[in-house]
Chain A
Amino acid sequence: MKSSTHIMVVDDEETICEALMAWFVKDGYKVETALSGDEALKRLQDKPFDIFIVDLKMPGMDGIELLSRIKEKLSDAVVVMITAHGSIQTAVEAMKRGAIDYLCKPFDPDELSLLMERVMTHKALQQENIALKERLLEQQEDAVDVCIVHSEPMRKIFASIEEMAPSLAPILITGETGVGKDLVARAIHLKSERAFGPFVAVNCGALSESLLESELYGHERGAFTGAVKTRRGRLEMADKGTLFLDEIGEISTKVQVSLLRALEEKHFLRLGGSHPISSDFRLVSATHRDLSPLIKENQFREDFYYRINVITIHIPPLRERLEDIPALSDYFFKRYVEETGKHLEGFTQKALELLESYAWPGNVRELRNIIERAVVIAKGRMIGAEELKFLDSGSSPIEIGSLTLEEIEINHIKTTLASCKGNISRTANRLGINRSTLARKIKRYDVKIHD
């Protein structure tokens, strides 16, 4: 790493520049020197440097001004100030303005080598941080990928996520099991200003009351049998991030009361603890249950409901947004083909028809599992009806009882168009009507065609 690290030494005394250059070159760094701040900034126009060793007192532009100018150009540049013994106060001022450290001339060999170790560790952490942020951005793109939406209701949901993500208001996500509530929660987190903070998820339905309390608030050593050491709770871990409480409809009224207090007072106690702990998190909750009847039956507290439900997002089940099936199928297909390393090209027409005609009681999760299974068992180059035959036998009809004949026709045209990627001729062929009839219907029903 040293040989790829560029250092610039800036000092008006040539002997200091030469001595520092000699030391750094022997230590394996690439070094250049400048005798003034102006010269340093001029060099900086040609190429970037990683570390700057800057003298505080120089005629013309002094070290403090040069520090500010360097930071304007290269915000992640590491600047070390060097100073005479008399000007430590100014060196401290420089550190307040972003210098990483300072050295008093002449330095002890130990001091210089320890400082460089510290600087290099700082640089390594900085690079690791950049890499992690890049990975997070990739994940952000992945999260958007997974929430592939073609249908109108989902487009509206994702447009609203963009708007509501930056706010701090608690969000309640509702929808059937398997619709991807957790993915929407993650998308909200990644779109918010807290994206670089933690996303802490708790499945409230999976834990007993006492375990859930311990999980949420943490506990002090000896708080209960088995609490052999102090443990931080999920609320604490979510500081500066997002707390996602899944299956919130399952929590007891006792935990609802304590959570309500924690949300309102912004602090809480660990189990067995006496010091209040504050945590700054954004709450996103999710449930597959309709909470209104639970409130009527006093199983869910109304005050808690209004506290967690400032904004509601309802995710419709997959059977109500058939247009999303081709794109989601394609997404999961590519993902599992990559994971398994199989050479598959796609779905046969019959397979696509099967996927679109199934009711998907398990929603997106079921679709994902079925595509994974199909990819694993596929023998040819395409996934055909053979790989999806269990859908055919076990499928339940789409619930169309409440729809008019015209609505069914519109839905079917939309779905078929989406699966044919907007190709009119192919859609007409699959629907068993000629091209001009389809065009007339598309115009009459004002169906939007997307590629």
Chain B
Amino acid sequence: MNADASEPVAQAHLDLIPIGKVDPLAASVVAANLQAILGLNTNILDSLPEPDYAFLARRGQYEAGKILRELASMPDGSRFKLGLVQVDIYTPILTFVYGESQLGGKAALISLSRIHDQDPMKIYIRAAKIGIHEMGHLLGIVHCRAPDCLMHFSSNLEQLDTLPLRFCNACEYEARRRLRYLFGG
């Protein structure tokens, strides 16, 4: 992992891409946790412009699916792309989402819009939890029924804050197995 966007890490597994204006410290904390918890070498790339192409004026929000497709179409870089936005994102069926991902796919997204708090560290930890949860989906892991597993679905901040920054044994095992399959080692 390298917090400095100008120096890419060797053999990075994941590109973390700020989109639009995003707190750079949030990106660093998310990258550090992905490295510490899942062992993913994370390369923080230069910021992309604001995702205006995904904006829907009627809802005043940005469609997560469009941003994911944009990230997935990036030709170079690491196996996985994780976008980080400040704007509020949605899916056609939900009023908002904290994050979104392609199950077993290439791209995922974290939004900082609805996880705001007076304490910036709380925001960063929430963003890290969303990032690791979405990364679990990229590895093909579905929601877990164990209430103390980060793959458990949280529909509000209270639930998200209750979750620990780790997977349960079963999800941890599955994540390691899939990472070994993808990257060896």
Residue ranges of A at the interface with B (Cβ–Cβ < 8 Å): 2, 13, 15-16, 18-20, 22-23, 25-28, 105-110, 112-113
Q: Is the Cβ of B93 less than 8 Å from the Cβ of A27?
A: no
CA A108 – CA B153 in complex, angstroms? 14
Q: Would you call B95 an interface residue if the criterion is a C-beta within 8 Å of the partner chain's C-beta atoms? A: yes
CA A110 – CA B155 in complex, angstroms? 5
**Total residue contacts A-B, CB cutoff 8 A:** 55
Q: Is the Cβ of B96 less than 8 Å from the Cβ of A109?
A: yes
Considering only CB atoms, which chain B residue lies closest to A53 in the complex?
A: B93
CA A22 – CA B65 in complex, angstroms? 11
CA A26 – CA B90 in complex, angstroms? 16
Q: Is the Cβ of B94 less than 8 Å from the Cβ of A106?
A: yes
Chain B contacts for A27, CB-based, 8 A: 142-143, 153
Other-chain residue from A13, A19, A108, A113 in contact with B91 (beta carbon distance below 8 A): A19
Q: Would you call B11 an interface residue if the criterion is a C-beta within 8 Å of the partner chain's C-beta atoms? A: no
A23-B142 contact given A110-B155, A110-B156, A113-B153, CB 8 Å threshold:
no
Chain A contacts for B125, CB-based, 8 A: none
Chain B contacts for A19, CB-based, 8 A: 65, 91-94
Per-residue CB contact flags for chain B residues 146-163 toward chain A (1 = under 8 Å, else 0) read 000000010110000000
Number of interface residues of B (CB under 8 A): 17
Q: Would you call B137 an interface residue if the criterion is a C-beta within 8 Å of the partner chain's C-beta atoms? A: yes
Q: Is the Cβ of B153 less than 8 Å from the Cβ of A16?
A: no
Q: Is the Cβ of A106 less than 8 Å from the Cβ of B95?
A: yes
CA A356 – CA B109 in complex, angstroms? 83
Q: Would you call B103 an interface residue if the criterion is a C-beta within 8 Å of the partner chain's C-beta atoms? A: yes
**A–B complex contacts, Cβ < 8 Å, 26 sampled:** A15-B92, A16-B92, A16-B93, A19-B65, A19-B93, A19-B94, A23-B91, A23-B93, A25-B142, A26-B142, A27-B142, A27-B143, A27-B153, A28-B142, A105-B93, A106-B90, A106-B93, A106-B95, A107-B94, A107-B95, A109-B94, A109-B96, A109-B97, A112-B93, A112-B94, A113-B155
Give the distance to chain B from A43, nearest Cβ to Cβ, in Å: 21
Considering only CB atoms, which chain A residue lies closest to B102 in the complex?
A: A22
CA A27 – CA B137 in complex, angstroms? 10
Considering only CB atoms, which chain A residue lies closest to B100 in the complex?
A: A22
Considering only CB atoms, which chain A residue lies closest to B101 in the complex?
A: A26
Chain A contacts for B96, CB-based, 8 A: 109
CA A113 – CA B92 in complex, angstroms? 16
A22-B103 contact given A28-B142, A109-B155, CB 8 Å threshold:
yes
CA A240 – CA B118 in complex, angstroms? 59
Residue of B92, B95, B153 most packed against chain A (CB within 10 A):
B92
- Shortest 8 CB-CB contacts between residues of A and residues of B: A109-B155, A110-B155, A28-B142, A19-B92, A19-B93, A15-B92, A113-B155, A19-B91
**Chain B, range 65-97, C-beta contacts under 8 Å to A:** 65, 90-97
Q: Is the Cβ of A20 less than 8 Å from the Cβ of B93?
A: yes
Considering only CB atoms, which chain A residue lies closest to B136 in the complex?
A: A26
Considering only CB atoms, which chain A residue lies closest to B142 in the complex?
A: A28
Give the distance to chain B from A263, nearest Cβ to Cβ, in Å: 52
